[in-house]
Structure 1
């Protein structure tokens, strides 16, 4: 009897060893998919669920390749280089996607963070000429988590993963370098962080971050204004709306229609920030004048620190009057 059991055991083991699946089961090393030994987590993605990814995992997603480059705030142009990576939207779909009321927090290995709004993830960024660096208008880009450059791994300074903005539709313009976050280790979907600017005039009202951004992108971005300011060695690009468009909300005219009749009678505009600093402007200068801009973004990213939520910029005012941190707008009759 003992000999029969031994023979049966040998037969089963032999059958298992002779098949790939059997070999895995017998030695306890069967996997649903091969990881080629890659067990190093390089990215954590948090959405409606949280998942960890190795570089091998990321490379298994549908990838996209293309040439891209960027303009530094100093004006220096970098690129073009051939990149390969995964669209952020593809990755986000793996954890439940992202809703219009959410934003994407991009976290680097040194805990540096940049927040991409839902609208930014649609790829509407300022575009720059790839030879002169001149501003060209709003371009269309795909936002990519890149893992390869020119057929090899990213350069050591860029880390294993970085964000790039890849122009779509065969265009070869560049994006702003502030979008190209390096050494990415985590992506978090977070509730949209909002702010409110209060408006006081013939009627009182307010505008929040989501409304302001939506107005900037209305009708293909026709209301969106861009102004560049040389600040030290950096040429910073500010984006926002003409001040007169916000005045139109509270000047007693029909909804969102500027009241030219009231403007002709004359009044002052007072801009205030959280430090109680103020700037006074004459409506005669501001009326339907796009050179007075309330900027919400700097180098394609929403303002932060003392500049947030809005900063006054434009060719119509001096640098000293470019007030930041604006939270109130008053019409003074």
Structure 2
């Protein structure tokens, strides 16, 4: 009985860790052309409840690009990165549906059911816990929420959450952020007005 309970706890802990990291399944394309960075059959919906804009992957890549670094740590201490990151800042996407104001929140979702909410402080690049490479907490540099489509100069593979993945980006390659906010396979962004 005790061994069965211990196995249950281990399996439950692994499932919780996977869900916390936004990695509960593979939902992106396994098409080799998509993995090579060619046009991907993936749409993103950006909405504020009254306006809605559906963008193709090509339309997203045509928006003004943000470039910098991303480096994350999972809830179990596994580091991902550092990556050079290219994508679109969330504020650029908000402008498509009337902007983002004080007190607003944004929900980021993926087809696997993972959902993450950022408040106005986080959208402004504040309110995150940041770490150095030894995972010691450090003062936060300027941070930017980015919908990334490239890591290290190539398309983000499905296994890494591509084609579109949230990143808490920075100009410093050695700044690590918590990976639970790095939503994989992003397909919907919902601005919730205050």
- What range is the shorter-chain TM-score in? 0.7 to 0.9
Deviation per CA, 1:280-316: give whole Å up to 9, x if none. xxxxxxxxxxxxxxxxxxxxxxxxxxxxxxxxxxxxx
The 1-side partners of 2:162 and 2:69 are apart by 19
Give the distance between the partners of 1:74 and 1:41, measured in 2 at CA.
30
* TM-score normalized with structure 2 length: 0.73
Aligned position for 1:93: 95
**Match runs of 1:234-249 below 5 Å:** none
Q: 1:111 aligns with which of 96, 110, 113?
A: 113
- Structure 1 CA distance for aligned equivalents of residues 105 and 142 of structure 2: 19
Structure number with greater CO (CA < 8 Å, separation at least 6) is 2
Give the distance between the partners of 2:114 and 2:173, measured in 1 at CA.
Answer: 30
User: Alignment partner of 1:139: what SS?
Assistant: coil
Structure 1: which 5+ runs fail to align? Answer: 1-37, 193-333
Answering whether residue 68 of structure 2 is matched by residue 53 of structure 1, we say: no
What is the TM-score normalised by the length of structure 1?
Answer: 0.44
* 1:1-333 alignment runs, 5 A limit: 40-47=41-48, 48-124=50-126, 125-130=128-133, 132-157=134-159, 158-168=161-171, 170=172, 172-192=174-194
Q: Secondary structure at the match of 1:119?
A: helix
Structure 1 stretches of at least 4 aligned residues deviating more than 2 Å after TM superposition: 38-41, 137-140
Question: What's the offset of the Cα at 1:171?
Answer: 6.0
Secondary structure of the corresponding residue to residue 93 of structure 2: helix
1:139 shift after superposition: 3.5
Structure 2 counterpart SS, 1:184: coil
* RMSD of aligned Cα (Å): 2.0
Deviations 1:37-82 (A, max 9, x none): x694520000251010001100111101222211112222211111
In the TM superposition, residue 165 of structure 1 has moved relative to its aligned partner by 1.0
Q: Size of the alignment, in residue pairs?
A: 154
Gaps of 5+ in 2: 1-38
* 8 Å CA contact 1:167, 1:174 repeated in 2: no
